[in-house]
Structure 1
């Protein structure tokens, strides 16, 4: 964010509810003042009643213009911008004046990645924010044993607000009731005028229970109908799209490695944070391999990769990760101590004949080693590596 403070774009901070966007905005204001003592920061947080008179876009623009300081660098930071009616008119007008560096956050159902170009006529730069990574979790909970820490992270997740609660039950109640139900679901119901909230909750449970499984909209509808939940694939498609736009889930498409083309038949859906799954479903149908795969999927996105499910000769590679011409092939497993399991996991990677790096990430509890050119990396070691800084 500091690298972008003086760019002319409208900087839009996106991410699931309670992932720390507002706290990040506070930290940004503090950092700017540390580096520019005379900076003029206009910080509007619609969560505070101090700004309830600015609920109309005209009032918002007038307030900002009244606080403009001609002799200083001016920064406009707006939290929960969607609470201002027709906010995009004010932001577009202020951006056109070319006097402010603008950062905004908002409820994701109302401020979606796919809608940014439509909402804001000027240039936008999206800054995605995720729940705490494992490396950030280790900063919060310092430990000499990263292997046992990963066990804790798998269950607890990275929703930092839950860290303030003392018991497991309190943490789960916060994540499920206060974040998922009270915020994410409420936003979706409000934005899309969802009529069947029971179906939405059943869909959430299904997607959580099937992270990492190939899924089609028809198969979801068929399964829910078999459980006596009225559903059709068109409605399911709308609800799935809404959950992805709210950053609760991420859709990962399939990629034909040999044919170098994208496949449309089935996709995989990964949960933004595995803590939601434990809070809502507990250990029901627990598959630690799938949960670890979910963590790796989100970590790849966090590190700036495009992630796809690889398909080669009817074999599946968990991830094809691409960034700036760099490509990685990744398999994820919880336990590869048995030879049969190990061979099953490396087999798809060995079938790939190009020269791009191939990695098997698993809970090996030992230093990295190689097998026929494939890097075998412990999951805790790989996840604990912070995103490289410039």
Structure 2
């Protein structure tokens, strides 16, 4: 089992603090396993079993507790007085009005509360209003390359990267060596998200249309797109839709954590742009599951894992615009910016000049980093060129 120490350390930093720990992320990204690992850590450190209560609302055996009042009463009756109680609630969005139960538990001084959810709607509406300032979100992603390579110790680093770009990092999927079994598992994740997390929450939903939009986003990963382009493509494929329907489905795909929207940022004007975004799938595995054996654009796939790695490292990430030039990523953390360009190789001089030209137009002194699969690390007039494998494993 991969221990994922970054997440465990984050939970440990927040332990016993009066703030709700909310783990969010796509289904099967490892949220439940993280909570299980943390429970084991608590037991090893002397917490007694009766101080821990665990609920997973994907378990139909807990149907009676999906009413928030019954859930609260059940937990409250079993609290150990004069000791800290650790409450873990998995897939809490399946509890009606769960925010009321969470708020009532939060105000107790002897309750340390951990919850997970697979849909961003749980962090909207009443939850935000009722619990504003009382929770901290911890995004959980499928395995990073650094975590993935721990499962493929028989491969070289470059072989492992090729494998990762193809098969992705859903934790359980890394244990499935048979290609057909692996593919069925990933398709099952996608179908569950599309049907259970999206369509089941809509009065009238079109599964064929939703999957077609998901496939379009996967194929167009790394390209600037707008809703008109998606709508026209779908219509040309004999799928009736409208711009408003596409916008609604895009929002739901992002809220289910299956895709991430990367908005544009005007570097010179220091403002965010509202049109023409990029979308990246949560994991490279989505490509084969949604597009089959269609020939991949390896550059865009590499760009996608760099985007997700920046998100894992806590950056806000945008597409940079400077006049008619584009910077792959503007990454912002703690008020400090970094600029990234991603390319398979820069050994061709024309390619190198194309990639550094946008960097040369930037007038500030923030870091400018070129990530490629070329060996070695270089620094040319303040522009850092790094091997992407070294950077991913840093």
TM bin, normalised by shorter chain, reads over 0.9
Question: Residue 54 of structure 1 aligns with which residue?
Answer: 65
**Residue ranges of structure 1 left out of the alignment (5+ in a row):** 386-390
**Alignment RMSD, CA only?**
1.8
Question: Residue 255 of structure 1 aligns with which residue?
Answer: 265
Deviations 1:39-64 (A, max 9, x none): 71111223345534322222211111
Q: Which sits farther off after the overlay, 241-250 or 183-192?
A: 183-192
Q: How does 1:193-272 map to 2 (within 5 A)?
A: 193-272=203-282
Question: Residue 388 of structure 1 aligns with which residue?
Answer: none
Deviation, structure 1 residue 192? 2.8
Contact residue 221 and residue 300 of structure 2 kept, 8 A? yes
Deviations 1:16-58 (A, max 9, x none): 0100111111111111222243471111223345534322222
Deviation, structure 1 residue 98? 3.4
Deviation, structure 1 residue 179? 0.2
Q: Which sits farther off after the overlay, 136-145 or 155-164?
A: 136-145
Deviations 1:108-150 (A, max 9, x none): 1652467641464661111100000000011222256211211
Q: Secondary structure at the match of 1:215?
A: coil
Question: Residue 315 of structure 1 aligns with which residue?
Answer: 325
Q: Secondary structure at the match of 2:122?
A: coil
Distance 1:324 1:279 in 2: 37
Contact residue 52 and residue 87 of structure 2 kept, 8 A? yes
Deviations 1:235-284 (A, max 9, x none): 10010000001111111111111111111121111111111112221341
Is residue 383 of structure 2 the alignment partner of residue 374 of structure 1?
A: yes
Change (3 A) 1:144 1:187: closer
Q: TM-score, normalised by structure 2?
A: 0.92
Question: Residue 305 of structure 2 aligns with which residue?
Answer: 295
The count of residues paired between Structure 1 and Structure 2 equals: 383
Is residue 384 of structure 2 the alignment partner of residue 384 of structure 1?
A: no
Question: Residue 4 of structure 2 aligns with which residue?
Answer: none
Q: Secondary structure at the match of 1:111?
A: helix
Change (3 A) 1:115 1:321: farther
Change (3 A) 1:301 1:115: farther
Question: Residue 354 of structure 2 aligns with which residue?
Answer: 344
Is residue 142 of structure 2 the alignment partner of residue 134 of structure 1?
A: no
Distance 2:121 2:294 in 1: 33
Equivalent residue in structure 2 for 1:65, among 66, 76, 81 = 76
Q: Which sits farther off after the overlay, 206-215 or 134-143?
A: 134-143
Q: Which sits farther off after the overlay, 196-205 or 127-136?
A: 196-205
Distance 2:263 2:121 in 1: 24
Contact residue 99 and residue 127 of structure 2 kept, 8 A? no
Question: Residue 284 of structure 1 aligns with which residue?
Answer: 294
Distance 1:349 1:115 in 2: 43
Contact residue 307 and residue 322 of structure 1 kept, 8 A? yes
Question: Residue 91 of structure 2 aligns with which residue?
Answer: 80
**Residue ranges of structure 2 left out of the alignment (5+ in a row):** 1-10
